[in-house]
């Protein structure tokens, strides 16, 4: 079923910030490897440099597929590629389910044999936790939260997708 048909009855204006619908649909209609995809991604993400065009656009495509997955569940998207003022601790997607924030990390690997879960290291979890903490404090929110993972392996034409809700808790840290 074409992408537009799956979401034709969804009101994007209530589920996403302004401009998300165009960006997500454009990405999903032009997966990495399709004719002219490099220029489309460069215009959508103006100012960002792609060092490895295919792998980085595959990651963006995986993020757009995750947003589609969440929107089809009726979950509002608060942020996409949120960066704190400090510049450290990007969070791929922030969605909301009732009074709970979902901080979602998306990992895409171009080989089905590669396990994207392996990229979720203790260091990555600590970065996500710091970023989530900053987001909550910056926006003065009093909401529950969880960390979800969206894992992709393969390529845009043939991939395996796994969504893991409440995938991990923040690791304990101590300063000695």
* Lookup: tokens for 68: 């589609």
Between 49 and 139, the more confident residue is 139
2: confidence class by pLDDT, cuts 50, 70, 90 = very low
Would you tell me how many other CB atoms lie within 10 Å of the CB of residue 104?
Answer: 27
- H or E element in which residue 96 lies: strand 91-97
Q: Is 100 in contact with 166 (CB distance < 8 Å)?
A: no
- pLDDT digits 0-9 by tens, 37-74: 888 888 888 777 777 888 889 999 999 999 999 998 98
- pLDDT digits 0-9 by tens, 3-27: 444 655 667 777 888 878 888 888 9
DSSP state for residue 87 in the 8-state scheme: S
Asked if the model's pLDDT at residue 132 lies above 70, the reply is yes
Asked if the model's pLDDT at residue 144 lies above 80, the reply is yes
**Average of per-residue pLDDT across 142-149:** 95
How much is the pLDDT for 115?
75
**Average of per-residue pLDDT across 143-170:** 93
How much is the pLDDT for 1?
35
Average pLDDT, the chain: 85
How much is the pLDDT for 136?
93
CB-neighbour burial class of residue 91 (10 A; exposed 0-12, middle 13-18, buried 19+): buried
Please give the model's pTM, rounded to 2 decimal places.
0.86
103: confidence class by pLDDT, cuts 50, 70, 90 = very high
């Amino acid at each position: 079923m074409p992408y537009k048909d799956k979401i034709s009855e969804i009101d994007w204006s209530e589920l996403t910030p302004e401009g998300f619908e165009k960006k997500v649909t454009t990405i999903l209609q032009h997966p990495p490897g399709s004719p002219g995809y490099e220029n489309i991604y460069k215009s959508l993400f103006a100012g960002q440099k792609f060092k490895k065009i295919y792998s980085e656009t595959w990651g963006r495509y995986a993020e757009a597929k995750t947003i589609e997955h969440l929107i089809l569940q009726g979950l509002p998207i608060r942020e996409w590629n949120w960066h704190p003022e400090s510049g450290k601790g990007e969070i791929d997607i922030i969605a909301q389910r009732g009074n709970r924030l979902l901080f979602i990390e998306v990992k895409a690997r171009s080989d089905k044999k590669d396990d994207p879960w392996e990229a979720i290291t203790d260091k990555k979890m600590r970065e996500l936790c710091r970023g989530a903490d900053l987001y909550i404090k910056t926006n003065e929110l009093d909401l529950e939260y969880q960390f979800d993972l969206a894992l992709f392996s393969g390529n845009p034409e043939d991939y395996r997708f796994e969504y893991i809700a409440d995938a991990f808790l923040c690791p304990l840290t101590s300063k000695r």
